[in-house]
A and B are shown apart, each in its own frame.
Chain A
């Protein structure tokens, strides 16, 4: 027991990876064993996270990072294996370890090469958790990049089988290869600036420890490389910001997202939208705001403008889609826009009450979007498995054929829409309430985006469930299965719970927001 509490974060971090290795050693012929084994193994980090969650709450009044661990890792350049959580990272860790078993349960329908699939999935979980848990800048980058590799292979190998893309030169490649390649190279290229900026910070400061850098870096004066420190910091700020903006994704860096989300296997999309996008927003909160408070305030209007564009164009693009999965993918651009809007507002007016409200909303919105986007992608996957099409025009009037599915789809859509009483409303309200006095115009414009959110959500529901019944599906479509309901159950419960009583999560988030930016 002592061992567990002393090494809690390391255990959370590495238990999925170890689980993945165990899965590889299971006998391959027994698919059911591999599936259940992977599910059982993915529950371990979740249980450990609950231990951390309740241990954390007991000491919520303590400022700063809990459960810290620090071991020498790369002493030649002063980088150490330093983990720790505050309310911000802990809520993201909870989201990750919760969605992982859910996504693995959703993957029970995968039939091909399930051993490497499950192993990669668990490795991906370690990569994402590492980003949330790291308190060392180099370690952060290590996990930031490492998570790309499993995702690349998940899309490339288990993505949708149909579809082709023509490249320049007329060569044709499968859509999933195109999407995975674009995802990987786009993100890696986007991270180059981050990599360079991290190197520069390390050279200038002589350490990669975030807690030390938060103290020294923002107050640094003088000149570097023959340039004024302000210029260097501005460039470094944009290097960080662009890397994270690509991941979020902020308009106009979002073009990898619809491809990757659409071609990924269902569970891959769930994790992509549910957790991977949060990595970018987390980067803004964990690194950009504390390291570059002045630059963040200076450039916040630009970010707010891009966020507003993401909200409006994301919604409009979603409305224009005929592919249900693409529609949901663009809805992520729309919803994550609110996250960035809140971050920009908080950066502009750091320390004010509105900023605190906005940041609380931002983190809650990250959590909420994780849950509802995962649910939406899963529901699209459910109907795709039955009909082998994602074309919105191919369905229609399915509600009487699949009543339970229909109910769940409407419920999740309403959560995504921001219906009061469900989770999305609370967080979007907080963001808007916080951002309104700071960026009134942008916030007002983004309300237009919210209008279109309603439009595309209803379009999705209407063209699947309502209207005249497409006779083709009569007798060929079965309602949602018990396993699939089990996948959705925790998500649906959380949507309602967070909508009615978000305080349990907000109190943890608020601790971090006040501690960091208060």
Chain B
């Protein structure tokens, strides 16, 4: 156990972001190297957390607790369990690979990286917070820089619209969740925001049934739950590459995770009451998202809607309230995070060179950038749930959870999405990477840089490792899920 490691992870990026703002803006080389060093350090720290987490050990590890506003029962209380340790690693991976591929940010790179790091601190903070107030605090820190990052560095055609839409959706969601959380605080009579204490508050069934939807949906908006998913593809498309990676790769997990931690774990009776209909919404996510992805012609929108579909599987796994469902959803958060970060990275690389994202206008890139093409194919196989890759390891237990939870029809309908996903992924691979290079792109395209290959390589390696040897992540996740089940009940 390394003392203060979680605090180090949480505050390293934000401090580094502040330092960045004092660097000379003209020295871009220095700014990029500094950002890269910080990201690497955060990545290494997250690796340490992941591998020193003891799956057989206590429920929460690396605990730290300090009074913050004792009068209100607010404390800075952090720790990781078996579900969040992999998410911390995921965040480390995405920040590192995201910074690597952000070399070509020309406009005010100093501010860009500073905001990106503030965002990273917020994300780390949410994953490790054990105090409800601290969780909200970090949640807002994570959402706020998104606005600036999209509005200032995003795709010029839609960035203001997308940034505003995203921020409004997420703020409204968080306010709704906050109301629910405050209700919990007052109703518990414990005068504390500490979630470990609130777990034992024994809220009445009526209370839980009433407030569960507030908390769950408030957070699940960020997880892209239908019908509140609309902000997400627009946000993905408008955001600059590294931000899209962060947004789809990590931020959406934040929503799903907070919905689990605050909604399902603190209000388990409410979860049992409402999940049977919420699961229908997640089904819409999964199937409708896949169909919408199939009809997209914009490469980035396709990936954006595929995220809606795949994140639906996460909330669906949670909604089954079964052991298998929770295990699968927890692995899916990591698997999808890595996969979608990879997708957005590659889409960004293609767009930077081709200046178009229209799938029919691309082609033959296998010859130009074989490494990126193979990486995209690997990501595609993960996306379609191909065995041997992490997507299968994640999706299979989610479906088992549907069977075990008594939703056989939902399982059967949701399975359609697998075939649809295969269709749109194969189509994209065939059109973008094979076939003929369009004449107007001839001479304008070149291979990606070695550093970018490194970033893609790391992401692919994770997906393959989990796929071939699931035990690299499962003992941890199982330990985490067991504690969830202890609160929620069931097997």
- Chain A residues within 8 Å of B, Cβ to Cβ: 72-77, 138, 141-146, 149, 152, 156-157, 177, 181, 184-185, 188-189, 192, 195-196, 199-200, 202-204, 225
Chain A residues near B478: list those with CB within 8 A: 76
Contact assessment for A185 and B397 in the assembled complex, using a CB-CB cutoff below 8 Å: no
A66 to B82, CA, bound (A): 39
Q: How far is the CB of A89 from chain B (nearest CB, A)?
A: 19
From A177, A188, A200, A204, B384 is in contact (CB under 8 Å) with A188
CB distance from B361 to the nearest CB of A (A): 14
Q: Is the CB of A196 within 8 A of B430?
A: no
Q: Interface size on B (CB < 8 Å)?
A: 35
Contacting pair A77 B381 (CB below 8 A) = no
Q: Which listed residue, B324, B386, B471, touches A77 by the CB 8 Å rule?
A: B324
Q: How far is the CB of B276 from chain A (nearest CB, A)?
A: 14
Give the distance in Å from the alpha carbon of A53 to the alpha carbon of B487 in the complex: 54
Q: Tell me, in angstroms, the Cα distance from A389 to B386 when the chains sit together.
A: 37
Cβ of B190 within 8 Å of any chain A Cβ, yes or no, is no
Query: Which residue of B386, B399, B423, B470 is within 8 Å of A199 (Cβ)?
Result: B399
B470 partner, pick from A73, A143, A157, A200, beta carbons under 8 A: A73
Is the Cβ of A181 less than 8 Å from the Cβ of B430? yes
- A142-B324 in contact (CB<8A): no
* B463 CB → nearest A CB, Å: 14
Q: Is the CB of B422 within 8 A of A184?
A: yes
Known: A142-B387, A181-B426, A200-B411. 17 other contacts (CB 8 A): A73-B470, A77-B396, A142-B388, A144-B387, A145-B386, A149-B381, A156-B430, A177-B434, A184-B426, A185-B419, A192-B415, A192-B416, A195-B415, A196-B415, A199-B403, A203-B324, A203-B404
A202 with B470: CB separation less than 8 A: no
Q: Are B422 and A77 in contact (CB under 8 A)?
A: no
Q: Report whether A76 and B474 are in contact in the complex, using a CB–CB cutoff of 8 Å.
A: yes
List of A residues within 8 angstroms of B426 by Cβ: 152, 181, 184-185
From 312 to 356 in chain B, residues with beta carbon under 8 angstroms from any chain A beta carbon are: 324, 327
Give residues in B with beta carbon < 8 Å to A. 324, 327, 381, 384, 386-388, 392-393, 396-397, 399-400, 402-404, 406, 408, 411-412, 415-416, 418-419, 422-423, 426-427, 430, 434, 470-471, 474, 477-478
Do the beta carbons of B392 and A142 come within 8 Å of each other? yes
CA distance A200 to B406 in the complex (A): 10
- Contact call A74/B388, Cβ cutoff below 8 A: no
Nearest 3 pairs of A and B residues by beta carbon: A142-B387, A203-B403, A189-B419
B201 to chain A, nearest CB (A): 30
**Contacts known (A77-B396, A192-B419); A177 close to B430, Cβ less than 8 A:** yes
Residues from chain B with a CB closer than 8 A to the CB of A196 are 399, 411-412, 415
Min C-beta distance of B213 to chain A, whole Å: 27
How would you classify the secondary structure of chain B's contact residues: helix, strand, loop or mixed? helix
- Shortest Cβ distance from A238 into chain B, in angstroms? 13
How far does the Cβ of B297 sit from chain A's closest Cβ, in whole Å? 12
Known A-B contacts A185-B422, A188-B418, A199-B411; A77 and B400 likewise in contact (beta carbons under 8 Å)? yes
Residues of B near A76 (CB, < 8 A) are 324, 327, 397, 470, 474, 477-478
Are A141 and B387 in contact (CB-based, < 8 A)?
yes
Supposing A156-B434, A192-B419, A199-B399 touch, asked if A225 and B406 sit within 8 A by C-beta, the answer is yes
Question: How far, in angstroms, from A29 to B41 measured CA to CA in the complex?
Answer: 41
Closest A residue to B360 using CB positions: A171
Q: Is the CB of B397 within 8 A of A192?
A: no
Cβ contacts A to B, 15 pairs, < 8 Å: A73-B470, A74-B393, A76-B470, A144-B387, A146-B386, A146-B388, A156-B434, A177-B434, A181-B430, A184-B422, A192-B415, A195-B399, A196-B411, A200-B408, A203-B324
Min CB distance A206 to B, Å, is 10
Q: Give B447 Cβ to nearest chain A Cβ, in Å.
A: 16
Q: Which residues of A contact B471 (CB under 8 A)?
A: 72-75
Residues of A close to B411: CB separation below 8 A:
196, 199-200
Nearest-neighbor residue (CB-CB) of A204 within chain B: B403
List the A side residues contacting B406 at CB < 8 Å.
Answer: 225
Chain A min CB distance to B323 (Å): 8
Closest to B380 in A: A149
Residue of A76, A149, A195 with most chain B CB atoms under a 10 A cut-off = A76
Contacting pair B408 A225 (CB below 8 A): yes
Q: What is the chain B residue whose CB lies nearest that of A76?
A: B474
A390 to chain B, nearest CB (A): 24
Complex-state Cα separation, A246 to B327, whole angstroms: 32
Contact B397 A77, beta carbon cutoff 8 Å: yes
Option from B386, B415, B419 in Cβ contact (under 8 Å) with A149: B386
Contact of B419 among A72, A157, A188 (CB under 8 A): A188
Measured between alpha carbons, how far is A156 from B366 in the docked complex, in Å?
A: 13
Nearest CB to that of B421 among chain A residues? Answer: A188
Complex formed: what's the CA distance from A152 to B422 in Å?
12
- The distance in angstroms between the C-alpha atoms of A73 and B470, with both chains bound, is 7
Give the complex CA separation of A146 and B427 in angstroms: 19
User: What CA separation (Å) do A184 and B380 show in the bound complex?
Assistant: 14
- By CB atoms of chain B within 10 A, which of A77, A145, A181 has the most? A77
Chain B: which residue is nearest A141 at the CB level? Answer: B387
> How many angstroms from the CA of A393 to the CA of B237 in the assembled complex?
54
A225 to B470, CA, bound (A): 30
Given A199-B396, A202-B400, verify A75-B419 contact (CB < 8 Å): no
For B416, give the chain A residue with the smallest CB separation. Answer: A192
- Report how far A73 CA is from B406 CA in the complex, Å: 26
A188 and B422 contact, CB distance less than 8 A: yes
Chain A residues in 8 Å Cβ range of B402: 199
CA distance A275 to B378 in the complex (A): 25
A73 to B384, CA, bound (A): 21
Question: Is A74 in contact with B404, judged by CB distance below 8 angstroms?
Answer: no
Measured between beta carbons, the chain B residues less than 8 angstroms from A177 are 430, 434
Partner of B403, one of A143, A144, A200: A200
Report the Cα distance A152→B430, complex, angstroms: 11
Contact residue among A141, A185, A203 (Cβ-Cβ distance under 8 Å from B423): A185
Given A177-B430, A184-B426, A199-B400, A74 and B415 contact (CB-CB distance below 8 Å): no
